[in-house]
Amino acid sequence: MKRYIIILTGLILLVYSSGISQIFNPVKWNFKSEKISSKYYNLVFEATIDTNWHLYGLNIPENGPIATSIVYTDSTGFKISGKPVSVTKPEIKFDPVFGLDLELYSNKAIFKQQIEKATGEDLIVKGYVEFMSCDDQRCLPPKEAEFELFLADAKTEILNKSLLGILLISILAGLGALLTPCVYPMIPLTVSFFMRGQKTRLKTISEALVFGISIIFIYTVIGIIVALLKNPNAVNSLNTHWIPNILFFVIFIILSISFFGAFEIILPSGLAGKIDKQADRGGYIGAFFMALAMTILSFSCTGPIVASLLIKASQGEVLEPVVGMFGFSFIFAVPFTLLAIFPSWLKNLPKSGGWLNSVKVFLAFIMLAFAFYFIGRIEQTYHLKIISRDLFIAIWIVIFALLGFYLLGKIKFSHDSEVKHISVSRLFLSIISFSFVVYMIPGLFGAELRGISVILPPKEIQKFDLSKTGLSDQQSLTMPGIKPDNSLCVSPKYSDFLHLPHGLEGYYVYEEALSCAKQQNKPVLVDFVGHSCTNCKKMYNKVWSDTEVLEILKNDFVIVALYVDDKTKLSQSEWITSSHDGKVKKTIGKKNADFQVSKFKSNALPLYAIVDHTGDMLTEKTFTYDRNVNNFIKWLKEGKENFNN
């Protein structure tokens, strides 16, 4: 009985305290996991307790206050090993109210619970800690502190996969750079640099190692600079703003024309000459400047590869640009270093010739194709109707068809050698090129082309689409007198240039979605998305395309897609002043991005939230990038059930 009196008193005090704008939160929790072995982990629950307050322990007698306990909301994938234990030694004090000796913690308390993984897969452990706290004058009602723990190796494994992917890309880029006409002929010249003069074998080897390490150092420093200057908002601006995208388009076009043989791109001769003079000094300093000179002189061929690598790397974690540039420079430096140490190997290298120019032309076709990718970014962000999806595909079909004919020797450039016979490598590359062309052809008529959909403009801006049989629901909404069953409440604003995937209907203004949700008595799925967000497109293609997911989205939710990078200007009456940074937001993207940060405390993409028509959250957590369809379905059903209850 006394136990319930204490709890009731706590509730009365809480109500009273809220009336005078005092919210007591004397216990703050921190959660983490510790790996013991491949199967066993410790979940660590650490409480920081305000002065003069105390937290009750794990072992409280019957008729006492609420004990601290750990509750798991989902035990799938693991099992509990024993009971939670207290790392911090509790005080034992007599409580005159309960008439009992009780475990109490002051200042700090740490608890651990051992669990055993059932499988070797990544695991997220969700639950909450239930606890009660008091001071000398009052007790607060029991509270719940939620936790969601990624086991220690889960994050590491995800990070390792990401870094491994970047490392493999960078290694392939390094190998490709070695085969360019600007680099390959420099190999014997570089080796001769280390062989000149009277040197001991040890001296030659040490200088060659300094040369190789210097190449790695120069490129890796570039990666470090990219990592230090990078932040999520800056990268998003770089991806979507028209100026850098036009710049990248022009650069790739100029480089492709140069690689086709129209002209040579040469860095200022004065800069290269000064560095060459430093290299002539010899010794370790000369080896360093030789590495710097080779880096600069080969820039016309390695520059596009390095730039592409940095653009790719800068979209990931902070470590990725560093790892990417290290992998590129390492594989790039190894042949020079080894041949300087073992010069006799030079005679086994194939002679420079027309095949080097073929590599250069091959890269020219690839760069020309990807130049249009940047125009596609501008189209998706600014809706200028520059390039439709089918026009983009048509351009790629022509480019890769021409590449296939070039590989077969049917097209020749001025610097090409005569192709007397087709090598096996040329044959296989031409097969790949023509196969890619055949794969893309259905895309001209509306096929999804999921393998390259993250690169293509969205299917909704396809001009010619045979997959559409008659009017879509979205189209019929705009026609007088036509309103299909289960349609939206009103025609969505911005639906002429913003779209949802897979024929789904929805809104692009948050307030419109809330209003419709109220009329239809449905929850709202908020989708924070970006035109340039690759992971958003992957979620659409891999998760939203699932039959069950589509059925749930169509029937059970009002969807609102909030584009955070759209550059469409708002009317002055729609401008907002951010409570987050105090700046005026004048475009759709900036307004939506500010709303995401202000309400959901995140700028991650994609980000999904389920709310009711008043904007209150219906799930414990938002949902981010996760290509597990079952996890997404489970989360959607949780939101729907909470809405109905």
Q: Using alpha carbons only, what angle is made at residue 242 by residues 240 and 245, rounded to the nearest 5 degrees?
A: 75
* CATH code where residue 558 lies: 3.40.30.10
DSSP string, 302-341: HHHHHHHHHHHHTTS-THHHHHHHHHHHHHHHHHHHHHHH
Same domain (yes/no): 290, 164: yes
The pLDDT score that the predictor gives to residue 17 is 42
* CATH code where residue 44 lies: 2.60.40.1250
The pLDDT score that the predictor gives to residue 113 is 92
| Interatomic CA distance for residues 297 and 267, integer angstroms | 7
Same domain (yes/no): 417, 540: no
- Is the predicted pLDDT of residue 16 greater than 70, yes or no? no
Q: Is residue 611 part of a domain?
A: yes
| Interatomic CA distance for residues 20 and 245, integer angstroms | 55
Q: Is residue 178 part of a domain?
A: yes
632 in helix, strand or coil?
helix
Same domain (yes/no): 322, 413: no
pLDDT tier for residue 518 given thresholds of 50, 70 and 90? very high
Q: Using alpha carbons only, what angle is made at residue 457 by residues 453 and 459, rounded to the nearest 5 degrees?
A: 75
The pLDDT score that the predictor gives to residue 512 is 93
Q: Are 92 and 101 in contact (CB under 8 A)?
A: yes
Both tokens of 98, joined, read 């309960």
pLDDT digits (tens, 9 = 90+) for 555-569: 999 999 999 878 888
- Least confident range from 374-388, 512-526, 535-549: namely 374-388
The pLDDT score that the predictor gives to residue 371 is 84
The pLDDT score that the predictor gives to residue 96 is 64
Same domain (yes/no): 335, 358: no
> What's the whole-number mean pLDDT along residues 501-515?
91
pLDDT tier for residue 157 given thresholds of 50, 70 and 90? very low
Same domain (yes/no): 280, 212: yes
Tell me the average pLDDT of the chain: 76
Q: Is residue 280 part of a domain?
A: yes
The pLDDT score that the predictor gives to residue 66 is 77
Q: Is residue 486 part of a domain?
A: no
pLDDT tier for residue 596 given thresholds of 50, 70 and 90? confident
pLDDT digits (tens, 9 = 90+) for 174-183: 777 776 655 6
- Is the predicted pLDDT of residue 50 greater than 50, yes or no? yes
Portion of the chain with pLDDT greater than 70, in percent = 70
Determine the distance from the C-alpha atom of residue 418 to the mean position of all C-alpha atoms in its chain, rounded to a whole number: 45
The pLDDT score that the predictor gives to residue 12 is 45
Tell me whether residue 506 is exposed, middle or buried, using C-beta atoms within 10 angstroms of its C-beta: 0 to 12, 13 to 18, 19 or more.
buried
The pLDDT score that the predictor gives to residue 536 is 82
More confident residue, 640 or 96: 640
Same domain (yes/no): 170, 43: no
CB atoms within 10 A of CB 589: 22
pLDDT tier for residue 597 given thresholds of 50, 70 and 90? confident
Same domain (yes/no): 159, 114: no
Beta strand residue intervals within 400-517, DSSP E: none
Best CA proximity match to 529, nearest among 503, 575, 498, 557: 498
- Least confident range from 121-130, 195-204, 572-581: namely 195-204
More confident residue, 89 or 222: 89
The pLDDT score that the predictor gives to residue 445 is 87
Q: Is residue 482 part of a domain?
A: no
Query: How many structural domains compose the chain?
Result: 4
More confident residue, 504 or 139: 504
Same domain (yes/no): 438, 555: no
Tell me whether residue 246 is exposed, middle or buried, using C-beta atoms within 10 angstroms of its C-beta: 0 to 12, 13 to 18, 19 or more.
middle
The pLDDT score that the predictor gives to residue 122 is 63
| Interatomic CA distance for residues 7 and 5, integer angstroms | 5
Q: Which of 320, 342, 364 is the last residue of a domain?
A: 342
| Interatomic CA distance for residues 521 and 643, integer angstroms | 9
- Least confident range from 17-31, 323-337, 413-427, 588-602: namely 17-31
pLDDT digits (tens, 9 = 90+) for 72-102: 887 777 888 888 999 988 998 887 656 788 8
Within 8 A by CB and 6+ apart from 265, the residues are 254, 255, 258, 300
Question: Domain range holding 391?
Answer: 350-471
| Interatomic CA distance for residues 115 and 342, integer angstroms | 55
Q: Which of 116, 134, 150 is the last residue of a domain?
A: 150
Same domain (yes/no): 94, 186: no
pLDDT tier for residue 21 given thresholds of 50, 70 and 90? very low
- Least confident range from 33-42, 275-284, 385-394: namely 275-284
Q: Is residue 256 part of a domain?
A: yes
Best CA proximity match to 103, nearest among 119, 86, 118, 120: 86
pLDDT tier for residue 522 given thresholds of 50, 70 and 90? very high
Q: Is residue 46 part of a domain?
A: yes
Same domain (yes/no): 319, 197: yes
More confident residue, 442 or 470: 442
Q: Which of 418, 452, 471 is the last residue of a domain?
A: 471
| Interatomic CA distance for residues 205 and 199, integer angstroms | 10
More confident residue, 62 or 91: 91
The pLDDT score that the predictor gives to residue 554 is 92
- Least confident range from 344-348, 456-460, 598-602, 625-629: namely 344-348
The pLDDT score that the predictor gives to residue 155 is 43
Backbone φ, ψ for residue 556 (5° rounding):
-110, -10
More confident residue, 617 or 332: 617
pLDDT tier for residue 10 given thresholds of 50, 70 and 90? low
Q: Are 608 and 525 in contact (CB under 8 A)?
A: yes
Best CA proximity match to 194, nearest among 299, 344, 333, 337: 337
- Is the predicted pLDDT of residue 456 greater than 90, yes or no? no
The pLDDT score that the predictor gives to residue 435 is 95
**Range ranked top by mean pLDDT from 255-269, 352-366, 479-493, 509-523:** 509-523
Same domain (yes/no): 356, 436: yes
pLDDT digits (tens, 9 = 90+) for 181-208: 556 656 665 666 665 556 677 877 887 8
pLDDT tier for residue 253 given thresholds of 50, 70 and 90? confident
More confident residue, 398 or 232: 398
Q: Using alpha carbons only, what angle is made at residue 388 by residues 384 and 389, rounded to the nearest 5 degrees?
A: 140
88 in helix, strand or coil?
coil
Q: Is residue 578 part of a domain?
A: yes
The pLDDT score that the predictor gives to residue 194 is 63
| Interatomic CA distance for residues 233 and 603, integer angstroms | 8
CB atoms within 10 A of CB 325: 29
The pLDDT score that the predictor gives to residue 78 is 83
DSSP strand pairing (524-529 vs 558-563):
parallel
Same domain (yes/no): 53, 199: no
The pLDDT score that the predictor gives to residue 466 is 64
Q: Are 174 and 301 in contact (CB under 8 A)?
A: no
The pLDDT score that the predictor gives to residue 527 is 95
114 in helix, strand or coil?
strand
